[in-house]
Chains A and B, each alone.
Chain A
Amino acid sequence: MKKLMLGNEAVARGAYEAGCTVASAYPGTPSTEITEAIAKQYDEIYSEWAPNEKVAMEVAIGASFGGARAICAMKHVGLNVAADPLFTVSYTGVNGGLVIMVADDPGMHSSQNEQDSRNYARASKVPMLEPSDSQECKEYVKKAFSISEQFDTPVIVRLSTRVAHSQSVVELNDKEDYKIKDYIKDAGKYVMMPAMARKRHVVVEKRMADLREYSDSSELNRVKMDSDDIGVITSGIAYQYVKEAMPNASVLKLGMVYPIPEKLIADFASKVKTLYVVEELEPFFEEQILKMGIKVIGKEKLPVIGELSSQIIAERLLGKAIIDASKQSVPVRPPVMCPGCPHRGMFYVLKKLKLNVSGDIGCYTLGALAPNESIDTCVCMGASIGVAHGMEKARGTEFGKKTVAILGDSTFIHSGITGLIDIVYNKGNSTVIILDNSITGMTGHQQNPTTGFTIKGEPTKQVDLELLCKAVGIDRVTVVDPFDIKEFEKVVKTETQIDEPSVIISQRPCALLKNVKYEGVQKINQDKCKRCRMCMKMGCPAIVDKGEHLEIDPALCVGCMLCTKVCGFGAIEKAGE
């Protein structure tokens, strides 16, 4: 049967067909739908949201040691979090097949940096495959499981946004009858203390040599000879762009991107006059091929920044001019927090109090943009707390009293909690605001340990944030509704002035949750409105300036009533039918 599937859904399907039975992940765009699809469609696979990517990988490692085929999924920055277990599971190897999915985000559609995860494969000495459409996503995941078992190694499968988030046609197959392997105690293999690890490193080097040979003969790496003039070495989504821009070129498509097939490359190079390497982001293939003494053209013509496209390839390599229609200046449309967003009241207060705000990763990062302009820093998941603490230690208590850290509930569990412990332990005074919106918002509504539900929507124990903060040694924990602006302001003022660390839990559910019911669309009574524009300071996209007067767009307003609280003239009221 043929089906249109997202690359991510096809990965899930591949795991299912391979007889995988354990999946763990932390959501991260563009990798999130892999585990969501597993949870929704394949009951044969146990699935879970882990608190962070390191835990997700450890769970998958445990499942593999236990004899099952296991998968974990994350985005590129998530692999940084999970890098610690990655480097060591490379030494232990596996029992059941272990597949690590990583989704890179060239162009940074939704990320804080643009890293090339292929470097992790080389650094950790783990083979890496890279599919270029949904059909390959499914096939390569299955292949990755068998390579994992054949070579006793974890295998990384790399996606990029355009593969993960494109739908293309997939041919479905039946599930393989995979029998869970026996669990065998083997400390020499699975306990990585120095004496054992030294021996395992030798095994890893031998494995690399075997994998190099495998790469040369694997059908994952395909040559299609066409012209003798131009040859292109490429992989992943870049392959699709090459096929579109240079339909007559000979192509060596690498499905195994680490280790690369050196003999195959040398042979291919000898058959064409000009050899190009077309790869997104880093010159990963290019440097290795140059080291082999083969002349290639790559990054001298192609960018190391951002996504490629067939037009960039045609322009840079073939010298074709891109059609350049005269572009008038069109106002940009940056993303904004949704109408009714619980964070809006909080940002209003922080801006009013002119605080230094150490921010974090989540929807609320948008608070850095106009009109809120309330976030000063944002580094990585969980960094807000450590950064605020560091600022206070550098600039002293008075500066600390003008500083708060803000981060979401899911982010706090992911890696904020350790920062909070650091503040308590090292006698900091920071005020931390946890934005508890009862869901993981930015990636599209995933459950997390603070919501009380599992990935399948089953009720489970819920982390009590208040008790948790108290347990690590924060004595002052206040729960407050960010839409109760007066109270919120009072709490923030008090807590920032106090000479001890404190936590404010800003609690109000995400406006997009189904159970959130608001009052109904509001409108501005033009007779009462004094055009003072106080309401516009909230930055709600539903309130628009029509020049002469202000208006609420009924198609956008969700009726959260926040604007009514800042209007001093009672001019905002419920819109009649």
Chain B
Amino acid sequence: MEKLNILIVGVGGQGTLLSSRILGNVALKLNFDVKVSEVHGMSQRGGSVVTYVKFGKKVYSPIIEKGEADVILAFEKLEALRCIDCLGKDGKMIINEQQIDPMPVIIGKAKYPENIIETLKENNKIYSLDALKIARECGNIKAVNIVLIGVLAKLTGINKDIFVEAIREVVPAKFLEVNLKAFEEGYNYHN
């Protein structure tokens, strides 16, 4: 592996920022140059959130642009659809099957697209799962982000222990056990 561009998309409040922090630490442990870029919007919750994690020998721009993502981690279906342009031609996308209606949909000014995952599967390599359910079963619905990181860990082929170590460093002690379980579940989900 010479470089890895990971795009993380989701809805404010879903824990995307923590994921990028973990991935940044993984890169550092692998002795890569790395940039992680996050943009906070107007509120703490509810808006689209986009985070970029780029590893490589030397990383200049912190941003992943159209066609540049090797992996996209989508915390929500609609956000997956929104960023599909960024996926590179051999890129893989991991999607949490959760649906969170944006306000224009809630108030009836827009429609939530149907069959998003099926549509995306037509032309892309998609790994989808109900991460919310898995997180709930592990004991904390907030662990969705770690479930997804588990899936990503398997796909990248990077040594699993490096991920576990990075999670240990970033996640507070009292949530660690649940999160390590969530990671394990995600890791073993797609064979």
A520-557 to B contact mask, C-beta < 8 Å, 1/0: 00000000000000001001010111000000010110
A305-329 to B contact mask, C-beta < 8 Å, 1/0: 0000111000000000011110110
- In the complex, the answer to whether B42 meets A365 with C-beta atoms within 8 Å is yes
- In the complex, the answer to whether A244 meets B61 with C-beta atoms within 8 Å is yes
Within 494-541 of A, Cβ neighbours of B (below 8 Å) are at 512, 536, 539, 541
Q: With A336-B43, A339-B45, A541-B46 in contact, is A244–B60 under 8 Å at CB?
A: yes
Is the CB of A92 closer than 8 A to any CB of chain B? no
- In the complex, the answer to whether A310 meets B106 with C-beta atoms within 8 Å is no
Q: With A4-B34, A169-B28, A240-B61 in contact, is A334–B103 under 8 Å at CB?
A: yes
Within 36-84 of B, Cβ neighbours of A (below 8 Å) are at 36-48, 59-63, 65-67, 78-79, 81-82, 84
Q: List B contacts of A366 (CB < 8 A).
A: 42-43
- In the complex, the answer to whether A334 meets B47 with C-beta atoms within 8 Å is yes
Main secondary structure of the interface of A (DSSP, over half): loop
How far, in Å, is B130 (CB) from chain A's closest CB?
A: 12
* Complex interface: stretch among A42-50, A158-166, A403-411: A158-166
Is the CB of B92 closer than 8 A to any CB of chain A? no
Instruction: State A563–B44 Cα separation when bound (angstroms).
Output: 21
Q: Which residue of A lies closest to B27 (CB)?
A: A4
Is the CB of B1 closer than 8 A to any CB of chain A? no
> Contacting A166 at CB < 8 Å: which of B12, B35, B103, B113?
B35
Instruction: State A292–B21 Cα separation when bound (angstroms).
Output: 45
Q: List A contacts of B65 (CB < 8 A).
A: 309-311
- In the complex, the answer to whether A442 meets B42 with C-beta atoms within 8 Å is yes
Instruction: State A161–B60 Cα separation when bound (angstroms).
Output: 16
How far, in Å, is B146 (CB) from chain A's closest CB?
A: 16
B81-121 to A contact mask, C-beta < 8 Å, 1/0: 11011000000000000101111111111111100000000
Instruction: State A370–B110 Cα separation when bound (angstroms).
Output: 12
Q: With A332-B102, A371-B103 in contact, is A310–B37 under 8 Å at CB?
A: no
> Contacting A29 at CB < 8 Å: which of B21, B40, B67?
B40
Is the CB of A330 closer than 8 A to any CB of chain B? yes
Is the CB of B24 closer than 8 A to any CB of chain A? yes
How far, in Å, is A407 (CB) from chain B's closest CB?
A: 16
Is the CB of A377 closer than 8 A to any CB of chain B? no
How far, in Å, is B99 (CB) from chain A's closest CB?
A: 9
Q: Which residue of A lies closest to B136 (CB)?
A: A555
- In the complex, the answer to whether A240 meets B98 with C-beta atoms within 8 Å is no
Is the CB of A564 closer than 8 A to any CB of chain B? no
- In the complex, the answer to whether B98 meets A555 with C-beta atoms within 8 Å is yes
Instruction: State A166–B107 Cα separation when bound (angstroms).
Output: 35
What's the tally of chain A residues with a CB closer than 8 Å to chain B? 58
Instruction: State A171–B91 Cα separation when bound (angstroms).
Output: 32
Main secondary structure of the interface of B (DSSP, over half): loop
> Contacting B45 at CB < 8 Å: which of A166, A328, A338?
A338
What's the tally of chain B residues with a CB closer than 8 Å to chain A? 55
Is the CB of A331 closer than 8 A to any CB of chain B? yes
Within 1-35 of A, Cβ neighbours of B (below 8 Å) are at 2-4, 29-30
Is the CB of A444 closer than 8 A to any CB of chain B? yes
How far, in Å, is B100 (CB) from chain A's closest CB?
A: 7
Q: Which of B24, B37, B103, B141 has the most CB of A within 10 A?
A: B103
Within 155-211 of A, Cβ neighbours of B (below 8 Å) are at 161-162, 165-169
Q: With A4-B28, A330-B82 in contact, is A109–B39 under 8 Å at CB?
A: yes
Q: Which of A29, A166, A309, A370 has the most CB of B within 10 A?
A: A166
- In the complex, the answer to whether B67 meets A323 with C-beta atoms within 8 Å is yes
Q: List A contacts of B105 (CB < 8 A).
A: 331
Instruction: State A369–B63 Cα separation when bound (angstroms).
Output: 29
How far, in Å, is B115 (CB) from chain A's closest CB?
A: 12
- In the complex, the answer to whether A336 meets B103 with C-beta atoms within 8 Å is yes
How far, in Å, is A554 (CB) from chain B's closest CB?
A: 9
Q: List B contacts of A139 (CB < 8 A).
A: none
> Contacting A536 at CB < 8 Å: which of B39, B40, B107?
B107
- In the complex, the answer to whether A444 meets B112 with C-beta atoms within 8 Å is no
Instruction: State A30–B104 Cα separation when bound (angstroms).
Output: 27
- In the complex, the answer to whether B66 meets A165 with C-beta atoms within 8 Å is no
Q: With A336-B46, A363-B43, A544-B101 in contact, is A309–B81 under 8 Å at CB?
A: no
How far, in Å, is B160 (CB) from chain A's closest CB?
A: 21
> Contacting B84 at CB < 8 Å: which of A324, A325, A332?
A325
Q: List B contacts of A371 (CB < 8 A).
A: 103, 106-107
Within 320-374 of A, Cβ neighbours of B (below 8 Å) are at 322-325, 327-328, 330-339, 363, 365-366, 369-371
- In the complex, the answer to whether B39 meets A335 with C-beta atoms within 8 Å is no
Q: Which residue of A lies closest to B33 (CB)?
A: A169
Is the CB of B182 closer than 8 A to any CB of chain A? no
Q: Which residue of A lies closest to B89 (CB)?
A: A323
Q: With A331-B104, A541-B101 in contact, is A555–B141 under 8 Å at CB?
A: yes
- In the complex, the answer to whether A4 meets B24 with C-beta atoms within 8 Å is yes
- In the complex, the answer to whether B43 meets A335 with C-beta atoms within 8 Å is yes
Is the CB of B132 closer than 8 A to any CB of chain A? yes
Sort A-B residue pairs by CB-CB distance and give the 8 closest, nearest first. A335-B47, A333-B102, A331-B110, A336-B46, A338-B45, A166-B37, A335-B43, A166-B62
The chain A residues found within 8 Å of chain B, CB to CB, are 2-4, 29-30, 109-110, 133, 161-162, 165-169, 237, 240-241, 243-244, 309-311, 322-325, 327-328, 330-339, 363, 365-366, 369-371, 441-442, 444, 512, 536, 539, 541, 543-545, 553, 555-556
Given A363-B44, A369-B103, output 16 extra A-B contacts at Cβ < 8 Å: A4-B36, A110-B41, A133-B35, A162-B37, A167-B24, A167-B37, A241-B61, A333-B78, A333-B79, A336-B47, A363-B43, A370-B109, A512-B45, A536-B106, A555-B98, A556-B100
The chain B residues found within 8 Å of chain A, CB to CB, are 11-13, 21, 24-25, 27-28, 33-48, 59-63, 65-67, 78-79, 81-82, 84-85, 98, 100-113, 132, 141
Can you show 17 pairs from A to B with CB atoms below 8 A apart?
Answer: A4-B28, A166-B35, A168-B35, A323-B66, A325-B84, A330-B81, A330-B82, A333-B82, A333-B102, A338-B44, A338-B45, A363-B42, A366-B42, A370-B103, A371-B107, A539-B107, A553-B100
